[in-house]
Structure 1
Amino acid sequence: MFDDFLIRAMLASVGVALAAAPLGCFVVWRRMAYFGDATAHAAVLGVALSLTLSTPIFAGVLVVSLLMAMTVSGLSGRGFAMDTLLGVMAHSSLAIGLVAVSFLSGIRIDLMSYLFGDILAVGPTDVWLIWGGAALVLSLIAYRWSGLLLSTLNPDLALASGFNPKREQFILTLSLAIVVAVAIKVVGVLLIAAMLIVPAATARPLSRTPEIMAVMAALIAVCASLIGLRSSYVFDTPTGATIVCVCTCLFMVTNIAAKLFVQGRERIASLKENSGESRAEKKSVRSLPKRF
């Protein structure tokens, strides 16, 4: 089965979708979109360090992404505005990583594959790493679901319920670093944030509970990955970018359909209300005494 590159690409894209989409719900709820983007940009620096030290790319990206996320979490609230801090850390880490890669001698590296992904070059080992990381992330989310959700909605309520918001923040940060490490080969550094945010934002109008939103986001991400992979193969387009484009199209269709549904329901309700008032008026007219 792993001899076919399309099968490997399909398995890799599904694994990344299953890991990124539920985690993206927490990113959307906490309004941490730029936080995920900054963590993803730091992955380029992890690639450079891995190549320099001759260590696995996955390990280097995971360590640097985790350090980046923990640094931002530690510096927030200490005289730094969060958006300014994230902007400085994101772009500086990306620039430092690109400069560090340019100094590597005797090592051939395709930066485009790390910036935009190269899913068709995924090997059997990469597939196992992606699914192992996805299983770990999903296990962490399922095991700490109540704590993560309460810490997201109300940290004081989470603390009163016996959950430590800082610990839950660390678990979320660790999960985000794992997703960045496993997704860099599929969608690349510049598109990881889109796989975190867009499926969750697409599932939001279709969901009434957080659990349903997480499940719907995962299903939408899987469908977008498969459709994007097939479209990339047919139209000969970049696979990672095509997957994100499909996610964007689903987002637009879902939100437009949700708005039309709400408008239609409000119109039906107003028509029923008007018809009810007209019936009441007719009934009151009929009850008036007739004069001859």
Structure 2
Amino acid sequence: MLDDFLIRAALAGIGLTLATGPLGSFVVWRRMAYFGDATSHAAILGVALAFGAGLPLYAGTLVVALAMALTVASLAGRGHAMDTVLGVLAHSALAFGLVAASFIPALRVDLTAFLFGDILAVSRSDLAVIWGGAALVAGLLAWRWQGLLTATVNEELAQASGQSPRHARLVLTVALALTVAVAIKIVGALLIAALLIVPAATARQLARGPETMALAATGIGAAAVLGGLQASLHFDTPAGPSIVAVAAVMFVLSLIIRRRG
């Protein structure tokens, strides 16, 4: 069964939604969209460094994504004007990544795949990394769920109950870096944030509680993956952008449903 590239692509996308569903919910709740952009853009620099140093792709991407996420989280804790700082970091990381990639001939050929994803090229070993990484993120969020939720709703309440908002930010930072490293080959650096945000934003229109929203975001993400792959096959369009496009259509439909409801 795993010899069929479409089956592998579907399994990879569904596995990724195990992480993007609940994590994307926190990204929406905490208004961390630009945070996700900065981390995902840094992934291109990680790809270039991995190729240049002969490291595994996922390892290089994870190291740079984690470094960027920790930098952003540190600056957020010090009260810097985050919209400007995140804009500078996101675009600078992407620019340095593209410049570094220009010095690596083998990477220049495959750069579009890392920018926009190449889910149809996912291998069996990629599947293992994707499902393992997504399960790790989902498990981390489930383990710290109540503390993360309390810190998201009210940081002062979290401190009063003995929980550290800074620790909650660190957990989300690590989870985001892991998700970016896992997702880079599926939807690419430029579309990772969209896959995090759009299904969660859609679920927010329909769900009543936080747990329901996280589960709904996972299901909506999986439906977008399957619908995007079907659209890509039917219309001969790029798979990664097609997945995000289907997710965007589902978001518009959710707005219509909510207004009529």
Into which bin does the TM-score normalised by the smaller protein fall?
over 0.9
Q: What is the Cα deviation at residue 71 of structure 1?
A: 0.6
Letter of the 1:214 counterpart: A
The aligned length equals 261
CA contact (8 A) 2:199 2:221 kept: yes
Residue in 2 that maps onto 1:49: 49
* Residue segments in structure 2 that go unaligned for 5+ positions in a row: none
Q: What aligned pairs does 1:40-79 form with structure 2 within 5 A after superposition?
A: 40-76=40-76, 78=78
Q: What is the Cα deviation at residue 109 of structure 1?
A: 3.8
Residue in 2 that maps onto 1:277: none
* Residue segments in structure 1 that go unaligned for 5+ positions in a row: 262-292
Q: What is the Cα deviation at residue 80 of structure 1?
A: 3.0
Distance 2:39 2:67 in 1: 9
Query: Deviation digits for residues 90-140 of structure 1, max 9, x if unmatched?
Result: 000000000001112566641100000001111100010000011001100
Q: What is the Cα deviation at residue 165 of structure 1?
A: 1.1
Q: What is the Cα deviation at residue 254 of structure 1?
A: 0.7
Distance 1:234 1:102 in 2: 34
Residue in 2 that maps onto 1:186: 186
In structure 2, relative to structure 1, the CA distance for the partners of 1:184 and 1:153 (3 Å cut) is same
Query: Deviation digits for residues 175-228 of structure 1, max 9, x if unmatched?
Result: 000110111111100000000000010011211110110011111111111111
Letter of the 1:238 counterpart: P
Q: What aligned pairs does 1:238-257 form with structure 2 within 5 A after superposition?
A: 238-257=238-257
Where 1:76 maps in the other structure, the secondary structure is helix
Q: What is the Cα deviation at residue 256 of structure 1?
A: 1.1
Structure 1 consecutive aligned stretches of length 4 or more whose deviation exceeds 6 Å: none
Residue in 1 that maps onto 2:13: 13
Residue in 2 that maps onto 1:214: 214
Distance 1:216 1:76 in 2: 29
1:96 aligns with 2:109: no
Letter of the 2:239 counterpart: T
1:133 aligns with 2:133: yes
Distance 1:112 1:98 in 2: 11
Task: Say what the alpha-carbon RMSD is for the aligned residues.
Answer: 1.2
TM-score, normalised by the number of residues in structure 2: 0.97
Residue in 2 that maps onto 1:283: none
Distance 1:12 1:89 in 2: 29
Query: Deviation digits for residues 213-265 of structure 1, max 9, x if unmatched?
Result: 0011111111111111111111110001000010000000011110111xxxx
CA contact (8 A) 2:48 2:107 kept: no
Distance 2:50 2:77 in 1: 32
Where 2:208 maps in the other structure, the secondary structure is coil
Where 1:190 maps in the other structure, the secondary structure is coil
CA contact (8 A) 2:5 2:121 kept: yes
CA contact (8 A) 2:188 2:240 kept: yes
Identical columns (%):
59
Letter of the 2:259 counterpart: K
In structure 2, relative to structure 1, the CA distance for the partners of 1:146 and 1:177 (3 Å cut) is same
TM-score, normalised by the number of residues in structure 1: 0.87
